[in-house]
Chains A and B, each alone.
Chain A
Amino acid sequence: MKKFLAQTYLWILLILLYAPLIFIAIFSFTEARVLGNWTGFSTQLYENLFTGNVNGSASLISAVRNTFIIAIVAALISTVLGTLAAIGIHNLRGRKKSTMLFLNNIPMLNPDIITGVSLFLLFVFLRISQGYATVVLAHVTFCTPYVVLSVLPRITQLSPNTYEAALDLGATPMQALWKVIVPQLRPGMVSGFFLAFTMSLDDFAVTFFTRGTIGLDTLSTFIYTDARKGGLTPELRPLMTLIFLIILILLVIINVRQAKQQNSIKNK
Chain B
Amino acid sequence: MSKRHNWSIPYFVFMVLFVVLPLLLVAVYAFQDGNGRFTFANIVRFFSDSNALSTFALSIEVAIENTVLCILIGYPAAWLLANRKYNRSAVTIILFILPMWINALMRTLATAELFNILGVQLGKGTLLYGMVYDYLPFMIYPIYTILQKMDKSYAEAAEDLGATPSQVFWKVTVPLSMPGVRSGILMVFMPTVSTFAISEFLTNNKIKLFGTIIQENINSSMWNYGAALALIMLLIIGISTLFNKNDGEEAESSLI
A/B contact in complex, CB under 8 angstroms: yes
A195–B256 CB distance below 8 A? yes
Q: Mark A228-268, 1 if CB is under 8 A from B, else 0.
A: 10001000100010011001100110010001000000000
Which of B77, B94, B107, B230 is the one whose CB lies under 8 Å from A13?
B77
Range for the number of chain A residues in contact with chain B: 35 or more
Task: Chain B residues near A96: list those with CB within 8 A.
Answer: 5
A17–B5 CB distance below 8 A? no
Which of A17, A21, A24 is the one whose CB lies under 8 Å from B136?
A17
B248–A105 CB distance below 8 A? yes
Whether A149 is near chain B, meaning CB under 8 Å from some CB there, is yes
Nearest Cβ distance between residue B190 and chain A, in whole angstroms?
5
A119–B11 CB distance below 8 A? no
Task: Chain A residues near B85: list those with CB within 8 A.
Answer: 3
Q: Mark B212-244, 1 if CB is under 8 A from A, else 0.
A: 001100100001001100100110010001000
Whether A124 is near chain B, meaning CB under 8 Å from some CB there, is yes
State A20–B186 Cα separation when bound (angstroms).
Answer: 26
A114–B8 CB distance below 8 A? no
B81–A10 CB distance below 8 A? yes
B117–A10 CB distance below 8 A? no
B5–A91 CB distance below 8 A? yes
Task: Chain B residues near A148: list those with CB within 8 A.
Answer: 11
Q: Which residue of A lies closest to B115 (CB)?
A: A20
Nearest Cβ distance between residue A25 and chain B, in whole angstroms?
10
State A163–B24 Cα separation when bound (angstroms).
Answer: 40
B237–A109 CB distance below 8 A? yes
State A232–B107 Cα separation when bound (angstroms).
Answer: 13
A113–B18 CB distance below 8 A? no
A35–B218 CB distance below 8 A? no
State A219–B190 Cα separation when bound (angstroms).
Answer: 24
Q: Which residue of B lies closest to A250 (CB)?
A: B101
Number of A-B residue pairs at CB separation under 8 A: 231
Which of A10, A204, A227 is the one whose CB lies under 8 Å from B80?
A10
State A92–B3 Cα separation when bound (angstroms).
Answer: 10
Range for the number of chain B residues in contact with chain A: 35 or more
Task: Chain B residues near A140: list those with CB within 8 A.
Answer: 14, 18
Q: Which residue of B lies closest to A103 (CB)?
A: B15
B107–A150 CB distance below 8 A? no
Task: Chain A residues near B14: list those with CB within 8 A.
Answer: 81, 140-141, 144
24 examples of A-B residue contacts, CB within 8 angstroms: A10-B86, A81-B11, A87-B8, A88-B4, A88-B11, A89-B8, A105-B249, A110-B234, A112-B191, A113-B195, A113-B230, A115-B22, A119-B18, A121-B29, A122-B21, A140-B14, A140-B18, A141-B18, A204-B105, A209-B218, A223-B106, A240-B102, A240-B103, A244-B102
Residues of A within 8 A of B (CB): 3, 6-7, 9-10, 13-14, 16-21, 23-24, 35-36, 81-82, 84-85, 87-93, 96, 100-101, 103-115, 117-122, 124-125, 137-138, 140-141, 144-146, 148-150, 163-164, 191, 195, 198, 201-202, 204-205, 208-209, 219-220, 223-224, 227-228, 232, 236, 240, 243-244, 247-248, 251-252, 255, 259
